[in-house]
A and B are shown apart, each in its own frame.
Chain A
Amino acid sequence: MTDAELAELVKSALFKVAPDLEGEEIAAEQRFRDQFEVDSMDLFNFVIELHRATGIDIPERDYPRLETLAGCVAYLKAKGFGK
């Protein structure tokens, strides 16, 4: 998968758990929390959604790497997803 495809996958996971954000432009480097007032429950649900979409087992200590769009894409690649 290309970076753009991975980014689309991440975005759709985010929109699934925060449907009111559907269609919003997501800044690659800005934290979801800072850009959209997402809270811990939203982030929790987002991780579940990423896990469902990719099958990757995401330990809790990795959650900080999933706070931005760019971070998520880098994480999925590091985990070898989409190769």
Chain B
Amino acid sequence: MIEFRMPSLGADMEAGKLVEWLKKPGDLLSRGDVIAVVETQKGAIEIEVFNDGVLDEILTKTGENVPVGHVIATIRGKDEAPGLAPGAAVAPVAATPAKVPPKEALPPPRPEAPAVQVQITPAARRRALELGIDLATVKPGPRGIVGIDQVEAAQPLAKERPGIVFDEMRKAIAAAMTRSHREIPHYYVTSTLDVSPLMSWLEEENVRRPVPARLIYAVPLIRAAALALKSASELNGHYEGGAFEPAGHINMGIAVAMRGGGLIAPAILEVETLGMDHLMERLRDLVARVRGGRLRSSELSQGTVTFSNLGDETADAILPLIYPPQVAIIGCGQIAERPWVDDGKVIVRRTLTVSVAGDHRVSDGRRAAQFLTHFQQLLHNPEKL
């Protein structure tokens, strides 16, 4: 019998509320199956199982808050009799006392906005949470809808105390980043690259492709980063319990900003095996699920390195903090036209500043600099990516 515990959901999440069981006792399970959905500070997350077997018993009720590591179900082997504790002799099923660990009390029901016919958009709800505004005090807009504008307009009246009110997601990010800042001796290396060849190639490529098959420039960047990481094992893995364990695959966390505030970095697993078209597909799917769907527990707990791309109209460079227990993070600023020296002449080129933060317990700046050089070489020949 296997005790199935609430899996880790990344360094910044310690618990989740169980909202739905998708399997019932007696159901056959295969590794990777989604058995339950939990709600966290960062949205709904699908919990996957790591073993084949049969769901034996469910130990956590819907609505319960479950800390990471808490046993939420038992799974037995396909040929194992139901209800047997590990190593137990024959015992009648009914007489086996359920080994239910102490549970947290049900959280009190959250007070909802009054049940009048006011429509509140999801983005407005999130914004209200971020600003600490009671939605019941927000005046709807002309069509009876509470949107982001209405929430923001309500801010001065609804604020109960001065200063920013931090919502749960902000607390979770703060906890993970405080740990990162405290425990990881960061170093940074940066390079500014001429990405004109990459962007020209991409534009020509996209002219040839029908609308749905086009690529965004983040895709070749991720592809090149994945390939360059293959020979930079000190930047890819986990540092835990005083030791570094390099990862066999590259599970690249992709930092995605959430509207209304907050950030999440679910991983594309085994990213080095994906060509550009597959990568684009996976990236689209990932962002769509950050926006309105569900992420999976493996995507949040199995990242081995993180990629953070600021994107258009943002800032020239980013110096991000490593997401523990990972040991490196790659940050890209916006692509912009800048003066560039080529063969003794100043010309205008499209450039990108890339940063790598590394963990000094595992590597030195030289290693990250080698990675950047390799990354740059790969981007110079985008057609070969």
- A54: min CB distance to chain B, Å: 11
Of A2-10, A56-64, A68-76, the one touching chain B: A56-64
B287 at the interface (CB under 8 A from A): yes
Whole-angstrom CA separation of A42 from B141 in the bound complex: 25
Partner of B218, one of A21, A22, A40, A52: A40
Instruction: Tell me if A45 and B211 are in contact (CB < 8 A).
Output: no
**What 1/0 flags go to B290-329 for Cβ under 8 Å of A?**
0110000000000000000001110000000000000000
Residues in A neighbouring B142, C-beta threshold 8 A: 25
Kindly identify, within residues 18 to 40 of chain A, every residue whose CB is under 8 Å from any CB belonging to chain B: 18-25, 33, 36-40
Q: Which residues of A sit under 8 angstroms from B257, Cβ to Cβ?
A: 37, 39
- Distance (whole angstroms) from the CB of B60 to the closest CB of chain A: 28
- B145's nearest neighbour on chain A, judged by CB, is A23
B121 and A36 within 8 A (CB): no
A23 and B291 contact, Cβ closer than 8 Å, known pairs A48-B211, A51-B211? no
State whether A41 touches B148 (Cβ < 8 A).
no
User: CB of B381 within 8 A of chain A?
Assistant: no
Q: What is the bound-complex CA distance between A33 and B283, given in angstroms?
A: 20
Q: Is A13 an interface residue (CB 8 A)?
A: no
Picked from A20, A38, A39, A41, the residue with its CB within 8 Å of the CB of B292 is A20
Minimum Cβ distance to chain A for residue B206 (Å): 5
**Which residues of B in the span 210-263 have a Cβ within 8 Å of any Cβ on A?**
210-212, 214, 216, 218, 257, 259-260
Residue-wise, chain B 349-383 has the 8 Å CB interface mask toward A (1 for contact) of 00000000000000000000000000000000000
For chain A, the bracket of interface size reads 20 to 34
> What does the 1/0 interface line of B16-41 toward A look like (CB < 8 Å)?
00000000000000000000000000
Shortest Cβ distance from residue B315 to the other chain A in the assembled complex, whole angstroms:
14
Given contacts A22-B121, A39-B257, A60-B203, contact A44 B148 (CB under 8 A): no
User: B69 near A: Cβ within 8 Å?
Assistant: no
Q: How far is the CB of A20 from chain B (nearest CB, A)?
A: 4
Contact between B211 and A40, CB atoms less than 8 A apart: no
A59 to B207: give the CA distance in the assembly, Å: 7
A39 engages B311 (CB within 8 Å): yes
Select which of B123, B148, B211, B288 is within 8 A of A57 by beta carbon: B211
B185 within 8 A of A: no
Q: B145, B218, B312: which contacts A25 (Cβ < 8 A)?
A: B145
Of B119, B203, B212, which one neighbours A23 at CB under 8 angstroms?
A: B119
Known: A19-B291, A36-B259. A24 touches B121 (CB 8 A): yes
Contact status B121-A45, CB under 8 Å: no
By beta carbon, the residue of chain A nearest B122 is A20
Do B126 and A20 have beta carbons less than 8 Å apart? yes
- A60-B216 in contact (CB<8A): no
| Interface presence of B147 (CB below 8 A) | yes
Residues of A within 8 A of B218 (CB): 40-41
Are A23's CB and B287's CB within 8 A?
no
Pick from A21, A40, A48, A59: contact of B123, CB under 8 Å: A21
**Inside 8 A of A23's CB, which chain B residues have their CB?**
119, 121, 145, 147
Binding site for A on B (CB under 8 A): 119, 121-124, 126, 141-143, 145, 147-149, 203, 206-207, 210-212, 214, 216, 218, 257, 259-260, 283-284, 287-288, 291-292, 311-313
Binding site for B on A (CB under 8 A): 17-25, 33, 36-42, 44-45, 47-48, 51-52, 57-60
The 11 listed contacts between A and B (C-beta, < 8 Å) are: A19-B291, A19-B292, A20-B123, A20-B292, A21-B121, A22-B122, A23-B147, A24-B124, A24-B145, A24-B148, A25-B145
Beyond contacts A40-B218, A44-B284: 4 other A-B pairs, Cβ-Cβ < 8 A, are A24-B124, A24-B147, A25-B143, A48-B211
